[in-house]
Structure 1
């Protein structure tokens, strides 16, 4: 970084990245870490303090003389609105700048109501949560949707279960009320981001698989979310399942993994469930043998596809999330059984296949993380401080 760049707010964003771990540091420590001149570090720290992004954190232990002051990242400098909108539910949360949830609400909501009704209700809930937390404005909004999203525009792209949403300007609708930025992505991508940030920040290669009404995956490679050329990487539910050519899928094809191993497909094979995923989950929790066996068999079908993913992507952690996984340990057992048997020993030698630890919060944590990665990036911080 050239000295000519070190004027005003320029370069302060890089300094803030060092501080986002929350550890208090002195000016002298920052000089040592960055190799910059003390006057440069001092100017950047003062600017970040003035904007509230850093805050005093007491005094360091003195080695003689007056103890030096320390500073730390201030996550209360702003709030993010995060929403995880599923096929039949929505979870909306307000988080601080460290993605800690300050207030949250979940309610039943059908995605088939259309974008205007769903987004307006999300905004209404968001306004109520902001009032609860004592905030009026947000620094950014993140939204997860249950279908393919063109991340660069935030517009859904031919989503099979979202009538009326194709090409809809979701960011424009929300920004008209809250201002920007508004970032939108597929819900499973955001679950992957949320689980990675909250539980596995040191893992560079992770595969998150959601198993519920549908099946999808989010891919973390090199520590970052992999979206693919058109943003549809990880569309696991529409990979052909072996021996399933007769099973019709809602996407229009036949034999998709989702058509044979997602919640509705399993419930249809358990007479006592009456086709209801909720009742299927209740049966599993109650110890019903038929339901447990069908869920484990579905886990094996998912494991067949995941075995290929493990060989192709070589993740060190595979995380299974979604309502079925939370309810049914037998599904995890079925997945493990096949993946460990069919993948190459080198790929599975240290592979962990685990259930999600973020639970129902994975989506909103990921939505908040997506926004924070954007607004707290060095480029964005420098642009904001230069105004």
Structure 2
């Protein structure tokens, strides 16, 4: 949908948030507005405590320009990254700097009621630690391990856990917090965080999340590509001998490695246990991680060839093993990708590690809170 307030204050805020223009001169140059119109919009944002003056930049000749920034301390964002067996959450400021976080072995299959109960208990404790209240939470970002239709807030996969059928994800916490809420697939929030903060100079990324499950997030021209019904990024490959397609996590993932290690007499429960075993030099864990890396890398050849990204970012719990897994993915991709797509392709470990989910959830909360049309309406109504 196009901007309904094309000259509203939200358009100005969008440029300030992105860093494209943070001074009056740069904003006028980007927008083509008169200085009077721009001053009105800046005053609206300042009066609403949405932005602050961040001081003066070095002079370019004449009076030093005043720089504007988001008022990061004007509230909090709640970031929730729900995994298949583990959930992380954090409170951040309004520019997604993590202030406090927690985690627990509670996952998606336990259902929305149990997760909401746990989250609210933990958040109340964290708010108390920060000397704040629920009223200070202005935005909520929620990641789940399933495709999400961001227009409706519903999970779209047909085989979703029964307790999640029909649940409108952004509505889960609206009764607990007076906040704007956004929901997204877990691999997409990870990809968004890596794109904006880990690899800010890269506009085209494929971000692999390899843990108990395996999927990838697609960043095209700096934006999440979700496909129809949010299902982009699912990976599958033929399974011999019949050649029928199977999801790659049934062939190579933290889950398949765990089962094989258990059959060989090793005590492992999570992907983190697999990484710990590999870090201790266990040959079985190292072998299985490399095998999984090659298989997943081979599966990604078609994705890289079709999308021609600047980088393939290898993340998720298995990537925490480092070289044994990442090198295998890199070698498999480079062995099969066409020259055009492979020229200059970077294949490296994710830079944000296990922080990516919470940061990404905070970023979608930030985007929802500072949606340009929403901000334009709020400041217009206040005026």
TM-score > 0.5 by shorter chain: yes
Matched, 1:225 2:219: no
Match in the other structure for 2:131 = 134
Show structure 1 runs of 5+ residues with no match: 247-252
Match in the other structure for 2:287 = 293
Instruction: Classify 1:83/1:192 alpha carbon distance in 2 versus 1 (closer, same or farther; 3 Å).
Output: same
Deviates more, 1:153-162 or 1:78-87: 153-162
Deviations along 1:84-135, one digit per CA (max 9) or x if unpaired, are: 0111111111112211111111122132222101122112222322333333
Matched, 1:360 2:343: no
Match in the other structure for 1:79 = 76
SS at match of 1:77: coil
Match in the other structure for 1:249 = none
Match in the other structure for 1:334 = 328
Matched, 1:310 2:309: no
Q: Distance in 2 between matches of 1:149 and 1:18?
A: 28
Show structure 2 runs of 5+ residues with no match: none
1:211 shift after superposition: 0.7
User: TM-score w.r.t. structure 2 length?
Assistant: 0.88
Instruction: Classify 1:67/1:156 alpha carbon distance in 2 versus 1 (closer, same or farther; 3 Å).
Output: closer
Instruction: Classify 1:23/1:186 alpha carbon distance in 2 versus 1 (closer, same or farther; 3 Å).
Output: closer
Of 16, 20, 35, the match for 2:17 = 20
Match in the other structure for 1:273 = 266
Alignment of 1:145-164 (within 5 A): 145-158=144-157, 160=159, 162-164=161-163
Instruction: Classify 1:345/1:374 alpha carbon distance in 2 versus 1 (closer, same or farther; 3 Å).
Output: same
1:206 shift after superposition: 0.5
CA contact (8 A) 2:28 2:34 kept: yes
Q: Distance in 1 between matches of 2:107 and 2:258?
A: 20
Could you say which structure has the greater relative contact order, defined with CA pairs below 8 angstroms and 6 or more residues apart? Answer: 2
CA contact (8 A) 1:219 1:226 kept: yes
CA contact (8 A) 2:239 2:245 kept: no
> What do you get for the CA RMSD once the two structures are aligned?
2.6
1:143 shift after superposition: 0.4
Instruction: Classify 1:337/1:61 alpha carbon distance in 2 versus 1 (closer, same or farther; 3 Å).
Output: closer
Matched, 1:183 2:182: yes
Deviates more, 1:145-154 or 1:340-349: 145-154
1:340 shift after superposition: 0.3
User: TM-score w.r.t. structure 1 length?
Assistant: 0.88
Instruction: Classify 1:62/1:220 alpha carbon distance in 2 versus 1 (closer, same or farther; 3 Å).
Output: closer
Q: Distance in 2 between matches of 1:31 and 1:328?
A: 46
Q: Distance in 1 between matches of 2:66 and 2:274?
A: 58
Instruction: Classify 1:71/1:115 alpha carbon distance in 2 versus 1 (closer, same or farther; 3 Å).
Output: closer
Deviates more, 1:148-157 or 1:82-91: 148-157
Match in the other structure for 2:341 = 347
Q: Distance in 2 between matches of 1:151 and 1:60?
A: 39
Q: Distance in 1 between matches of 2:293 and 2:105?
A: 27
Number of aligned positions between the proteins: 372
Q: Distance in 1 between matches of 2:62 and 2:310?
A: 49
